[in-house]
Amino acid sequence: MHALVTGCAGFIGSNLVDSLLADGAAVHGVDCFTDNYGRAEKLRNLDQAHEWNKFSFTELDLARANLAGLVDLADVVFHLAAEPGVRSSWGQRFEGYAHNNIIATQRLLEALKPSPQKRFVFASSSSVYGEAEQLPTRESTTPRPLSPYGVTKLAAEHLVRLYVANYGIDGISLRYFSVYGPRQRPDMAFHRFCKAAIAGLPLTVYGDGNQLRDFTYVSDVVNATKAAAASSTSEEAINVGAGSQVTLSRALEHISHLAEKPVRIHYDSPQRGDVRATGADITKAREQLGYETHVAVEDGLRLQFAWMLETGARQLSHS
């Protein structure tokens, strides 16, 4: 298989690239290195990929570059490139979210019009649901994003849907729920929690700590994403979560145990766009993709904590 992976230097994208290469696929990765965190750290995410002869890389901005020929050799396009983050999507930064999440997706879909048989797997987000009416949340639930980020992800989903309907593109959207694991972005909860625990620093938690999240380990997400590429299902959107919920406070207890010392926590007001609870109904993923989760939160946190310890000196030196 020849795969195109956009956002290949990011957290999930780089893990997907490594897994595809290990499966024997040829992978062409693209990334534009947005400034949400350091370029050097993203480049390090590709260290393993560059050891493979079947990996090639191009730095480009999907919303501006000439995409003619980019998809020609690909059998599957995994579109993970995006401007991430709920809290930073307000105000003047929204322009970047529209650029990287909506315009980039539309231009990539345009490039696929001459070859609609290629499978297009789009990485969406549970943020499209906002404060969901039902937990666990089914894909039939009406999306009501609570953040500008969620709005851009939902808009991109609609673009996929309309290119499927009008041009016959073989597209599917996956709604990822609270992904964590090695290479997680520095702004994400478990990265911040582990970093504070290792360094013995105080940690700010926004809200009372009883927020519920469906934390999903990155290898489970990667497996679901590959399964979506291999599947012939025409479902418009599929949840990819752990199918269980954990409070932030409970996750912090696990991290304190791993650090063998308590984490000093300061509780602050909830941030705009943060929802109280998320939870994925993964029935459709099981039925359509053969998806099963393999990593419980306790085990996943142990793996992420070990990765943070290995890279801790570097992480702290860049803080």
- Short-list 64, 159, 176, CA closest to 120: 159
- Short-list 207, 269, 249, 239, CA closest to 132: 239
- Short-list 293, 310, 269, CA closest to 216: 293
Check: CB of residue 280 under 8 Å from CB of residue 239: yes
Q: Bridge-partner residues for 309, per DSSP?
A: none
- For 15, 18, 40, 127, 136, the CA distances from 56, given in Å and listed in that order, are 15, 12, 18, 32, 40
Amino acid at 140: S
Question: CA 311 to CA 295: how far, in whole Å?
Answer: 22
Structure tokens at 38: 């350091």
- Short-list 212, 190, 197, CA closest to 301: 190
Other beta carbons less than 10 A from residue 80's beta carbon: 25
Question: CA 118 to CA 104: how far, in whole Å?
Answer: 18
Structure tokens at 277: 């609870």
How far is C-alpha 289 from the geometric centre of its chain's CA atoms?
A: 18
Phi and psi at residue 313, to the nearest 5°:
-60, -40
Residue 149 is among the residues annotated as catalytic for this protein: yes
Catalytic residue of the set 37, 149, 163, 291: 149
Other beta carbons less than 10 A from residue 126's beta carbon: 26
- Short-list 282, 133, 272, CA closest to 216: 282
How far is C-alpha 17 from the geometric centre of its chain's CA atoms?
A: 13
The residues that are catalytic are: 149
